[in-house]
A and B are shown apart, each in its own frame.
Chain A
Amino acid sequence: MRSLRRVFSVLAILAALAASIPTAWAQLPPLSGREVPEHSLALRFGWDSTWTVGVAYTMSKENVFFQHDGSFDAALDIPIAFLGRLSDWKFSIGSTTRFTIDGDWAVAWVSHTTLIRSTSAAGRTFTIGSTTMLRTGAYGSDGAAVFDLSMRVADMTNIAHSDLVRATFDERPIGAVPGPRGKWCRNTSQRIGFGLAAALESDRDAFSLGFGGVEHSAESGLEAGPMLGQLPFHFVAGWERKVQ
């Protein structure tokens, strides 16, 4: 079982790296010079905080915002390790608007609202957050290659503690401060990312897509090791196809 896991890990890394002509799939704005697929579905896989798989739906429109092209999308991502229990997931819904600079050069503004659920020995957290990305680069007829600047914020998070956490308070011999209550907290996570995103046409109605980069989270002068913080990179590859 362990060796199978190891093999799967290696294959997963290789697959993601091989396909990571980084991309933007569901958030990818319509490519210029081609008919825009109005409805498309994408499958994606990669490392984003941990190994995840996801499915995304995109509805693209021309001239949707004051003559600028745009798209709306919804996506569900699930950590692979939790596929069996479906307790941890991220649902994103958002829009992308592309502003042409000159010819094929454009800036795409991607704005998403995210709902994220996470469970662990410490309890359960549920976040309403937002993701904003600026994707600047070339959007050609056969593909796109852009720089990706992103900010991901957990705007508010509901924390429900497990017995493990409650016991850290309850089993003090003395202590004036009562145990933690489940509550909403704001700004529990802020991450800034920089990377590349790209899309390549694989046939008339499909793209191979991917993105990758590095990420930094604010630590207020602290030093967090990777096991306590996060691995500071992400790379995801996917495939998107017109469905109508």
Chain B
Amino acid sequence: MMLRNAWPLMALLLLMHLCSCAALLGIDPIVTEDLVPPTVDEDPALPSVTIEVAGRTRAVHYFAEGPAAAPVVLILHGSLSDSRSMLAFRALADTRRVVFWDQRGNGLSERITAEEFTLASIVEEITAVKALVSPDAPVTLIGHSFGAMFASCYLSQRPDDVERAVLIEPAGLNGSIMAATMDEMFHLDLLDTGLNELLWSSETITASSHATMDYKALQLLANGRLLRYHCDPDHPTPWPVWRPGAQVEVWRPRLLTDQDGRFDYDFAAGLAECRTPVLLVGTDCSALGAKFQEDHHLALFGSVELKEIQGAGHRVTVEKPDELLIIVRRFLDSPSPR
């Protein structure tokens, strides 16, 4: 009697479960190109070079513009980013050789293992790229955010290899600054729409592969509230990226912390005595803006100037590229002290 009463529901349930099982029969699992572009090792059409870093030979997405014999500028993108976010600096190619590459594990460059992502390997990677394009002459570094921190780290360790450095809104350049200012950058609101979109998406796609992690990182980049970087957090400027290196991002804190999880690094060691010209650029909207750079970083450098760009946030390379280029050009064209 009861079975008879329940049969329509049972039949419906059976049908729906069969539909679910049908997924196993003819539908493919997610592959990289369903979500994010393939990397240079997966798509040979992409321009690349190979470099040996941390004992491994890796292919990196690489392109250079400008006269081959001109002074070289190396462009360093930040975290969850790649060279696409730095394309404004192509404009410098009229007088300089501008070199873009997606750092290992990011963008269209080959993915790497955790063992290959160390502080030493970051310096080694910049050294390897420099050796390809300017083995003998010092280069100019232009870095944004984490790319600016890496540029500072490289300058600190290899000052003779750097002609000038442009550091656009680096976060804390040493552990004590980072520890003191972390809370100024992050804003966690568990009712925030963007964060909830990211979390709810785990119901349909979990971060179980590089591609799914990168796909979720794209969602993370669209959230304007998690980091205090924007003039209008509800409508953050879209951040152009080919593939955010999500796995590298998970490893990134290890570069900066000791075994107890305390920030323990110094990317500005010795720079107070260094005469290499440094340009710090900050905006008026970002938590890492001009005020932050003035308060925390200005005193770390021996030869430094600070410029502010108004009406922009941390994504200044796409928000105010023209203003940024004017400032950078003026700095690069000023007489060299060397």
Contact = CB atoms under 8 A, between A and B. Distances in A.
A218 B208 contact: yes
Interface string A68-97: 000010000001111000001010011100
A229 B247 CA distance: 11
A177 B205 contact: no
A202 interface: no
A18 interface: no
Contact of B203 (A62, A118, A164): A118
A85 to B, nearest CB: 9
Interface in B198-220: 198-210, 212-213, 215-220
Interface in B45-68: 45-47, 63
A188 B204 contact: yes
Contacts of B206: 154, 188-191, 217-219, 229-230
A160 to B, nearest CB: 11
A5 B29 contact: no
A185 interface: yes
Contact of B213 (A5, A6, A191, A228): A228
Chain B's interface size range is 35 or more
Contact of B202 (A9, A169, A186, A229): A229
Interface in A186-244: 186-191, 217-220, 222-225, 227-231
Interface in B68-85: 84
Interface string A149-186: 00001111101000011011101111111001001111
A81 B34 contact: no
B23 A81 contact: no
A218 B206 CA distance: 8
A125 B189 contact: no
Contacts of A183: 34
Contacts of A176: 43-46
Contacts of A95: 9-10, 13
A227 B45 CA distance: 33
A65 B6 CA distance: 10
A184 B27 CA distance: 7
Contacts of A62: 2
Which of A94, A119, A126, A188 has the most chain B CB atoms closer than 10 A to its own CB? A188
B20 interface: yes
Contact of A113 (B13, B30, B208): B13
Contacts, number: 243
Contacts of A187: 23-24, 29
A229 B45 CA distance: 32
Given A113-B13, A228-B246, A164 B2 contact: no
Nearest to B202: A230
Contacts of B191: 5, 8-9, 51, 80-81
B28 A185 contact: yes
Given A128-B23, A175-B46, A228-B217, A185 B30 contact: yes
Given A113-B16, A189-B204, A155 B250 contact: no
B27 A156 contact: yes
A76 B241 CA distance: 36
Contacts of B242: 168, 171-172
B37 A189 contact: no
A141 interface: no
B43 A50 contact: no
12 contacts: A61-B5, A63-B2, A95-B10, A118-B204, A156-B20, A175-B43, A176-B46, A187-B23, A228-B217, A228-B220, A228-B246, A229-B207
Given A2-B189, A187-B23, A231-B199, 4 more contacts: A61-B2, A157-B205, A188-B205, A230-B202
